[in-house]
Structure 1
């Protein structure tokens, strides 16, 4: 558990968002979730807007740390072993966002919806920017014809896969999050995506045949 007050309060706010949604995010609710005296959250974040912006910064920091820790290998030359390793790494990351970090993922979606009304939040919530940069570099190494566009499309598809497993039909039909079966199933889907978006490289064309 974090020891600094900023992390304690924002992590509590993330849990409140995941459980109650944006309307349930209040200073009082965060105090209660954190187990701190009433008025603690408002002493650190005077307005609700300041609290939301702090939560978004915390989400961005945690997402960035996850992406850096994943250390996904670049599928140079796109041999089968490398594609499998990349797909497995992405699958493990997604599975963690569906299981141990489920609350954080739900809170991120709540903040993204809020950002449709408050664009300044998007400049803080940089999860998409970091993952797109990583995907572009990976697909460039794999020989994709247009790694910039392919990377953006790959991230959009992976984000859709994550959302489907949390809130869509996949939440009912896919293996339970946090299991080897879920990671294996995700890896199959991601392997197909990687082969499709790295298209144009002779090795990936052969793999897809």
Structure 2
């Protein structure tokens, strides 16, 4: 069973993903989590502490899920296209709220290095994973290709979670992967 702290953080993350960063208050988190009033503020005394807690929780949760995920081997460009398409479908489908929360938290942390650090660490892990996949499928400049591929994927994800949830995924990913390998 999740602790009071974990329930508060899950609720806070869902709240930010659904209503944006301005909706994040201790009282709203308590209500959304079904906790007694004041529970969230027992863990996070200030709003800044709550935001920092949500940022750390998001990064920690995603790293744990990534580590536990059973990912099929990726040895060909086609397998890479399939893997990235599936990942984007998850991030913009079942995890769309969390994805919107991540974007909101990145923007909130843009001027705060301490707040941004856990998100950047999470991104670093994903960059390393992407570079390794690109090396495995034959990219000549995997670091450069990863930057371009991730920029295209980020744009597609943002597009799907904001203005067009039904935008096609695979054609964009296929073009980006093939370009990364040229």
Asked whether the two chains share a fold, i.e. TM above 0.5, the reply is yes
Report if aligned partners of 1:32, 1:38 keep a CA contact under 8 Å in 2: yes
Superposed CA deviations along residues 112-139 of structure 1, whole A, max 9, x for unmatched, are 1001121222211133211111111111
Unaligned runs of 5+ in 2: none
The answer for the alignment partner of 2:118 in structure 1 is: 124
How far the C-alpha of 1:83 sits from its partner, in A, is 2.1
Say whether 1:102 aligns with 2:90: no
Normalising by structure 1, we get a TM-score of: 0.79
Say whether 1:144 aligns with 2:139: yes
Alpha-carbon separation, structure 2, partners of 1:62 and 1:158: 21
SS of the residue aligned with 1:144? coil
Unaligned runs of 5+ in 1: 76-81, 175-184, 200-209
Say whether 1:198 aligns with 2:166: no
Report if aligned partners of 1:13, 1:55 keep a CA contact under 8 Å in 2: yes
Equivalent residues in 2 for 1:1-209, closer than 5 Å:
3-68=2-67, 69=69, 71=71, 73-75=73-75, 82-125=76-119, 126-168=121-163, 170-171=164-165, 174=167, 185-199=168-182
Alpha-carbon separation, structure 1, partners of 2:138 and 2:98: 34
The count of aligned residue pairs is 180
Q: Whose radius of gyration is greater, 1 or 2?
A: 1
Alpha-carbon separation, structure 1, partners of 2:83 and 2:138: 20
Normalising by structure 2, we get a TM-score of: 0.90
Q: CA RMSD in A?
A: 1.8
Alpha-carbon separation, structure 2, partners of 1:96 and 1:109: 16
Q: Which 4+ stretches in 1 moved above 4 angstroms? A: none
Cα 1:142–1:190 shift into 2, 3 Å: same
Alpha-carbon separation, structure 2, partners of 1:73 and 1:198: 18
Superposed CA deviations along residues 68-115 of structure 1, whole A, max 9, x for unmatched, are 31525333xxxxxx3222222222221111121121111111101001
